[in-house]
Amino acid sequence: METPKVNILVVGRHEEILETVLRIINKSENWVARGAMKDEEAIALFDTEKFDIVLLCGGIQEECEAVLRETFKQKDPEIIIIQHYGGGSGLLSNEIIHALSQRESSKNYNV
């Protein structure tokens, strides 16, 4: 049986950075990412697809980030939201792996 891929929504404001982050994530055989540059687009994607993680890239204004976080949490209280400021593919992968391991630990703890 094939392990389901981790579905990641990436929200960013800079097209080139967003494209790079998506390319890095989609290189992994275990992850699949979709991206949005506008809040409305991100929320629409979130409403139509099941995501495991939302990754917020740098450049999002505080007010917009707060609204996005609140919206995503209201729609799915279990969603993992990661703030990503950059720093290369190794850091990005580690952020995702760390978030997933925390989610698994909390599931095991709550059993």
Token pair, residue 91, equals 């850091």
Residue 1, domain member (yes or no): no
Number of domains composing the chain = 1
Residue 31 belongs to some domain of the structure:
yes
Backbone dihedral angles phi then psi of residue 55, each to the nearest 5 degrees:
-110, 120
C-alpha dihedral sign at 38, 41, 47, 50: negative
Domain interval for residue 47:
6-110
Euclidean distance between the first and final Cα of the chain, in Å? 24
- pLDDT tens across 22-70, in order? 999 999 999 999 999 999 999 999 999 999 999 999 889 999 999 999 9
pTM of the predicted model as reported, rounded to 2 decimal places? 0.89
Residue 87 lies in a domain: yes
CATH number, residue 11: 3.40.50.2300
Task: Establish if 17 belongs to a structural domain.
Answer: yes
Nearest in space to 52 (alpha carbons), one of 108, 101, 111: 101
Residue at 37 is within a domain: yes
